[in-house]
Copies of this chain bind each other. A is one copy, B any other.
């Protein structure tokens, strides 16, 4: 189980390899939200998302013989790049199993980071069977995207930084809003902030609010659909087995925003912070800006989790929500 000692050990391993991302603000955003809004810019992390933290933590925790055999991950997105980068820097072979219809750029980027990409057909092939076959044949270590104690510890290092950076800004107490899919980052940040004046709260898109509903009911709930949101990076069927107990114990209520609110937050991050956010990475900022009645206190912190968005989607956000 992930605890503070494991988080601090992960932070030590990540030091010098993962960026300490800045905590940004803008008076224009404060005015919209009616309180000070602080944005933890994880889109500036290596590979464009916080996933580089968990990937590094998990890969760097492996024994030398496991590293030499290599690692494997299933992902069409940010986790793939985080694991691929960490594996490359550790000299470990890396296999990423991706759907053949994943965006070509994501496949190309993952390959460019040194990974062997194995494509499968979503309609006719079983991803798990392909992955376990490869893992068994080559002795690869599987790195799960969120239900992994070391991955959670890696994501938690973002929470340690938030506490330090907020304290430096003389903030003693605030909700920390986190874009939430499987809950690895939210759980990690919640653990890192346990016992402080800061409280993690998961943020999700409408229709994919399994975590918010699970927290409200106290037991895991599933989403009715698995497609149909622009927030592709944070769509998961249900909260994780490891993550949900942490969220239930430590997090405040979930926040739910519309796709339009996420796009609007992207446009405001463009004009007011000069940051590129992907829709799933803008959900927490959207909640901070557009759900003021569900937040209390003079400050709110939103984690901008990623910026891996295609140009067409980004241009849509800018044209739909001109400043």
Contact = CB atoms under 8 A, between A and B. Distances in A.
Contacts of A24: 19, 44
Given A43-B274, A113-B27, A314 B318 contact: yes
A28 B277 CA distance: 19
Contacts of A19: 22, 24
A153 to B, nearest CB: 24
Contacts of A315: 315, 318-319
A44 B314 contact: no
A311 interface: yes
Contact of A275 (B31, B113, B275, B314): B275
A261 B244 CA distance: 48
Interface residues of A, number: 31
Contacts of A274: 43-44, 48, 275-277, 307
A105 interface: yes
A63 interface: no
A62 interface: no
A219 interface: no
A195 interface: no
B307 A311 contact: no
A66 interface: no
A146 B202 CA distance: 46
Interface of A: 19, 21-22, 24, 27-28, 31, 41, 43-44, 48, 105, 109, 112-113, 267, 270-271, 273-277, 307, 311, 314-315, 318-319, 322-323
